[in-house]
Amino acid sequence: MVGASIGRGAMRIINAMVQGIVAAKIHPNILTATGVIINVGCGILFGVGEFFWAGVVLIGANLFDMLDGSVARVTGNVTRFGAFLDSSLDRLSDMVIFSGIIFFYASNTAQRSLLNAFLALVAMMGSVMVSYTTARAEAVGVKANVGFLQRPERIVLLILGALSTHWESDNFFANRMPQVLWILAIGSFWTFIHRMYFTWIKLKQEK
């Protein structure tokens, strides 16, 4: 009941924002590009160790990611190029964010951890491969949107890991980014393998 009320309230806010953007005649591709620019700022914040603020900025960046599609549908600007641009820039955003995390954990700081840097690298590779296999599967006529760790879930996990980060805190719930990286590294490759297998099965059934 409470969750449904929160969901309805959030949708009203998003719809109001969409209507405001439509009234301002802002093209959805501009929103897509703006989201990437904000994600670059997020990657920089991760790189300098400001994980909490990176999480806050990441929320804002993904708000733009939600708005561009809605604005495109309302204004009738749904195009194949728009979908291509959105998908391509999402991959760039993912790599920028993970690059910031890798840079921080590989740098000479008190939190230096080559293991965490490696996990972030694996998570980045897995994230890209999940999206790549989806695109390639669609190219051969298979819709392979399977697996439990898709982009929205990855973003939510990154936000939770970032917002939990308070370097001086010894609270049990603080500084959980390393655990998030383990989930992202394993989960992304599991989803990648799942999509490979799913596509193989589907194509085999067509023979």
Per-residue pLDDT tens digits for 102-142: 999 999 888 999 999 999 999 999 999 999 999 899 888 89
Non-local CB neighbours of 196 within 8 Å, separated by 6+ positions: 133
Regarding pTM above 0.85, the answer is yes
Half-sphere exposure in the Cβ direction for 50 (13 Å, CA): 11
Higher pLDDT, 139 or 176: 176
**Burial environment of residue 114 by CB neighbours within 10 A (0 to 12, 13 to 18, 19 or more):** exposed
**Structure tokens of 88?**
């391509």
Core vs surface per residue 27-60: b (16+ CB within 10 A) or e: ebbebbbbbbebbbbbbbbbbebbbebbbebbee
Range of the domain at 191: 2-206
Please state the domain count of the chain. 1
Q: List the CATH number of the domain containing 90.
A: 1.20.120.1760
Residue 4's pLDDT is what? 53
Tell me how far apart the alpha carbons of residues 184 and 193 are, in angstroms, rounded to a whole number.
14
Higher pLDDT, 155 or 65: 155
